[in-house]
Amino acid sequence: MTVHHSMASLAGGYTKLSFNKRTKKYHGQCPFCHSVAEVFCVDNKNGTFWCYSCGKHGTIEDFRIQMGLECPEPEPEPEDAGIMGIYEAAAAYYYRCLTGRMDMRAYSYITKERGLDEDTIADFGIGYAPHGGGNQSLYRHLRQKFDDLAIFRSGLIKRGRYGIYDMFRNRIMFPILNRNGRVVAFGGRCLGDKGPKYLNSTESRIFNKHTLLYGFQTAAEASKTEDTLLVCEGYMDLIALQTHGVSNSAAVLGTALTKEHAALIRCFYRRVRLALDSDKPGLQAMARSIPVLENAGLKVDTISFSPAKDPDEFFRMYGKKALKARTSEGADPSVTAVRASSEPEAELVRQLIKHLNAQSGQGGRTERAG
């Protein structure tokens, strides 16, 4: 969101204010009690506000808190802080396994096939979970510093029919951070044919994919100068966006946006631009997400990366300048007409396809990167 240097500029984003030359104060309807009379008053000189009807009053900081614009990261319990320590040790281990080229196929995949350089790998802490050593490589590493009780509590090591094994094996690893920059989970992309293509850490008190967005620690900082959050899906899409200048971006972790996501976003942004994949699952997720975001008071528009499928592919086709240009404007999803439909989600998908197809005409005019 925009940085507000005065009480009037902040409150003016939530209610229309008029300046009274006689009192030297701003007046308008209260954004809290929604009184029809102009009972809300702002004293810009002193940086204060008050409402004569509901009695709410205070400073800029008080206004932000009462409007729900402040969402501090909760302090972890001592036990959870210990688990974060294990996650951070695992992240360092995975990173060394990748950059030390323990597995050349993994290193080649991330650098040649996906086009990431060493700086980007370091910035996002990308790593590799090996599958040798009896499937206990990480376990053996962690035992050098942590006791078994804490290790098993982290969920990174499992016990099965055939003994102890690492949860992540033969996967490209993406550390998932909270807003304080602490590692709270991992996403792993499989390099083989066994298991699901993507696998997330087990949910816990410190990690819930329905409340956390990948890359949001960077997006939260970007909200100081931006009012629109670009939401994509997938680790590589987020990395492509943030690496190439779109820092006001975050990614869902395999699910449509939830009301908890919307509440988090509302603390930092006033608008959301949905940039989910242009395939059917992406459109369905977009359809489910729009009313959730609007119900939280967020303004929503959509964006297409057609003829590419997603931001990462679009960047590799057209380059950084085209990516920045494509993300700068969104299209109205026309949700008002959709709500009158007897099958709102199906109709919304059709509406989205219509708008995304209209946008796709931009792709044909985009010059390819040299």
pLDDT digits (tens, 9 = 90+) for 227-245: 899 999 889 999 999 999 9
Question: Rounded to whole angstroms, what are the CA distances from 306 to 157, 309, 312?
Answer: 41, 6, 12
The verdict on 243 and 343 lying in the same domain is yes
Question: Rounded to whole angstroms, what are the CA distances from 16 to 19, 31, 38, 59, 72?
Answer: 10, 9, 10, 18, 28
The verdict on 305 and 194 lying in the same domain is no
Q: What CATH number should be reported for the domain holding residue 342?
A: 3.40.1360.10
Q: What CATH number should be reported for the domain holding residue 90?
A: 3.90.980.10
The verdict on 220 and 349 lying in the same domain is yes
| 207 inside domain | no
Domain boundary among 170, 200, 230: 200
Provide the number of structural domains found in the chain. Answer: 3
d(Cα 35, Cα 13) in Å, to the nearest integer? Answer: 17
Going by C-alpha positions, the residue among 70, 63, 62 that lies closest to residue 17 is: 63
| 152 inside domain | yes
The verdict on 222 and 319 lying in the same domain is yes
Question: Rounded to whole angstroms, what are the CA distances from 295 to 103, 309, 346?
Answer: 47, 28, 19
Is the sign of the CA dihedral 308, 314, 319, 325 positive or negative? positive
Please state the pTM of the whole predicted model.
0.74
d(Cα 120, Cα 122) in Å, to the nearest integer? Answer: 5
pLDDT of residue 101: 95
| 2 inside domain | no
d(Cα 26, Cα 8) in Å, to the nearest integer? Answer: 7
| 370 inside domain | no
Per-residue pLDDT of 27-48, as tens digits, reads 998 988 877 789 999 999 899 9
The verdict on 361 and 250 lying in the same domain is yes
Residue 139 sits at the vertex; the CA angle it makes with 93 and 117, to the nearest 5 degrees, is 20
d(Cα 293, Cα 280) in Å, to the nearest integer? Answer: 20
Dihedral (Cα; 17, 18, 21, 22), 10-degree rounding: -80
More confident residue, 361 or 161: 161
d(Cα 169, Cα 161) in Å, to the nearest integer? Answer: 17
| 307 inside domain | yes
Which residues form the domain of 170? 78-200
Burial of 15 per CB tally in 10 Å (0-12, 13-18, 19+): middle
Residue 328 sits at the vertex; the CA angle it makes with 322 and 332, to the nearest 5 degrees, is 120
More confident residue, 365 or 189: 189
Question: Rounded to whole angstroms, what are the CA distances from 307 to 326, 359, 362?
Answer: 12, 10, 9
The verdict on 149 and 248 lying in the same domain is no
The verdict on 160 and 269 lying in the same domain is no
The verdict on 134 and 178 lying in the same domain is yes
With contact defined as beta carbons under 8 Å apart, do 1 and 219 qualify? Answer: no
d(Cα 327, Cα 114) in Å, to the nearest integer? Answer: 21
The verdict on 221 and 360 lying in the same domain is yes
Question: Rounded to whole angstroms, what are the CA distances from 79 to 85, 86, 257?
Answer: 10, 11, 29
pLDDT of residue 60: 85
Mean pLDDT of the chain: 85
Omega within 30 of 0 (cis) for the link into 307: yes
The verdict on 114 and 153 lying in the same domain is yes
Distance of CA 254 to the CA centre of its chain: 12
With contact defined as beta carbons under 8 Å apart, do 105 and 191 qualify? Answer: yes
Say yes or no to pLDDT of 258 above 70.
yes
| 73 inside domain | no
Per-residue pLDDT of 124-182, as tens digits, reads 999 999 988 789 999 999 999 999 999 999 999 999 888 999 999 999 999 999 988 89
The verdict on 351 and 257 lying in the same domain is yes
The verdict on 85 and 175 lying in the same domain is yes
Per-residue pLDDT of 88-107, as tens digits, reads 999 999 999 999 999 999 99
Instruction: Report residue 259: phi and psi, to 5°.
Output: -65, -30
Domain boundary among 66, 90, 105: 66
| 138 inside domain | yes
| 292 inside domain | yes
Q: What CATH number should be reported for the domain holding residue 51?
A: 3.90.580.10
Say yes or no to pLDDT of 212 above 50.
yes
Length of the chain: 370
Domain boundary among 151, 171, 200: 200
